[in-house]
Structure 1
Amino acid sequence: MTDLPRPTTMSELIGPHLPFLRRYARALTGNQDSGDRHAAATLEAILVDPTCFDQSIGGKAGLFKVFHSIWSSAGAPVPEASDGLRGRAMAHMAKLTPNTREALLLHTVEGFSLDDVGAIMGLSGDEAQALVDLARKEMQQSVQGRVLIIEDEAIIAMDLEGIVTMMGHEVTGIARTRDAAVKMALEHKPDLILTDIQLADNSSGIDAINQILPDHDAPVIFITAFPERLLTGERPEPAFLIAKPYEPDQVISAVSQAMFFASTETLKA
């Protein structure tokens, strides 16, 4: 007698994608607590009414579609403006065309096809493409700044420098170790930091960031081959995380987002 395949449970469909939903929610809100609240509301909605979860478009896309429905019904909230770097970021956010930021993140950071982005947001693939293009244009025109790169692999560092420079930003330095990174950050006061985790002398990019942030408030993007070290489900986690190997569009999107939101949440060593 041939055993019939066991039906896939809802937790099996959703569970593997939760870390990425949390990453997306944090990038949208610029804040870990706010992002996690929206992610939790998504899970609660599915528990209350499982029919809202569209399995036909896949587990990840179905999960993000429920999130987007909740996000949109809440008015796609942008955090209230405040003083300092985050306040300036919120002022820029208020000028963005609605839905452009969401489409850009879904496509370039979360890796959804334009058709999937459309399915999640209730749009056609062509409409999703138009939103992504507009998001890139608006974000790159709105914010330019100084960027510190912490990366011990020369080819990757040069590639990141090229991408950041192409976007109109100034690279203040490239550090290969924790100590060099801390020194450069104190000397040049970057507006944004791109960092790997594992550095040349076996020091840690996480340690470098934790030394830098108490003295200098700047958003941080982790670019690492070890994302599992950061997406642990424990607090705090970074709002901006790109896994190696990366695509240039992922870096462009994350840099634009980070400049807007100025999230300084990072990890404790």
Structure 2
Amino acid sequence: MPNASTTEGFVASVAQELPFLRRYARALTGNQDSGDAYAIATLEAIIEDSSVMDRTKSARIALFSAFHAIWNSSGAPIAGAETKIAAKAQMHLSKLTRNTREALLLHTIEEFRYSEIAEIMNVPQDEAEDLVRIAQQELANSILGKVMIIEDEAIISMDLESIVSDMGHAVTGVARTRTEAVKLGKSERPDLILADIQLADNSSGIDAVNDLLGALGDLPVIFITAFPERLLTGEKPEPAFLITKPYTEEQVRIAASQAMFFSSTEPLFS
């Protein structure tokens, strides 16, 4: 039996991983309420039965493993598809090979190794690798659309533009400030927004996105930021999709494809 200090250390380590579990859960469901409901259900299960957490594993892997046990036992998001975006998502997600999206998000967004994904999902490592490969192929054929970029650093905005253009998406433009972002978004409604949170004139990308969502309605948004802690507070609405700088091209590609599943627009290209 672990002693008190060991238990306290393990609990502290789990607490540090909770924001990232919630990030993963939101990306998985495409909805903050639904994702958080899964994270809460995981914590409740751990409190009710401590054996749900395998103390022989690291706190990070043990927590994500417990989450997956809850996720697999439920078979569907706890929160219903209460928005057009979530409803559209479920239609698309039903067509994906089982477990592929989970493995892909664990690998690209949370940056788990294949061996760790295998532990979390309770599958052989070669199967974990196959799941990621299949998901990459399926997402490569996902919906295409119009992407707007809110980013004040020229090199980063050019890189993002190149990545999404290579995927087949059309870039509506790049905005460097809140004012430019609102003007650009209203001039041509995007299907997806990629946004930094700190812009050139010290304006906020978060405020720019809120302005756009207020004017344009539901849109999937990916925040790409060096300051994830500003968004992962648990005290206010948080994005379903969040990438930490420095990012990889694969992270942007996967997040963009995943986010497009949650687009509320009718056929993005005819």
- Cross-structure match for 1:63: 63
Aligned to 1:74: 74
| Aligned CA distance change for structure 1 residues 85 and 77 (closer, same or farther; 3 Å) | closer
The one-letter code of the counterpart of 2:221 is: V
Residue by residue, what CA displacement relative to the aligned partner does 1:76-122 show, whole Å, maximum 9, x if unpaired?
A: 44875677444333221111111011001111001110110011001
Residue type of the alignment partner of 1:7: T
Deviations 1:107-144 (A, max 9, x none): 10011101100110011221111111111211221211
**In 1, Cα distance between the equivalents of 2:173 and 2:78?**
32
Mapping of residues 129-144 of structure 1, within 5 Å: 129-144=129-144
Q: TM-score, normalised by structure 1?
A: 0.91
Equivalences for residues 1-269 of structure 1 within 5 A: 6-9=5-8, 10-77=10-77, 84-216=84-216, 217-262=218-263
Letter in 2 for 1:96: L
**Partner Cα separation in structure 1 for residue 83 and residue 68 of structure 2:** 29
Number of residue pairs aligned between Structure 1 and Structure 2: 260
Shift of 1:232: 0.7
Aligned with 1:261: secondary structure? coil
Query: Aligned with 1:119: secondary structure?
Result: helix
| 2:6 aligned partner, one-letter code | P
TM-score (norm 2): 0.90
Unaligned runs of 5+ in 2: 265-270
CA contact (8 A) 2:31 2:86 kept: no
Change in Cα spacing, 1:92 to 1:210, as seen in structure 2 (3 Å) is same
1:235 to partner: Cα distance:
2.2
SS in 2 for 1:104: helix
Indicate if the aligned counterparts of 2:147 and 2:191 stay in contact, CA closer than 8 A. Answer: yes
For the Cα contact (< 8 Å) 2:114–2:128, is it kept in 1? Answer: yes
Give the CA RMSD over aligned residues.
2.0
User: What CA distance in whole angstroms lies between the structure 2 residues aligned with 1:84 and 1:7?
Assistant: 46
Distance 1:121 1:198, change over 3 A: same
- Measured in 1, the distance between the counterparts of 2:120 and 2:226 equals 28
For structure 1, the 5+ residue unaligned runs are 264-269
Query: Cα distance 1:8–1:161, how it changes in 2: closer, same or farther (>3 A)?
Result: same
The answer on whether the counterparts of 2:178 and 2:199 sit within 8 Å (CA) in structure 1 is yes
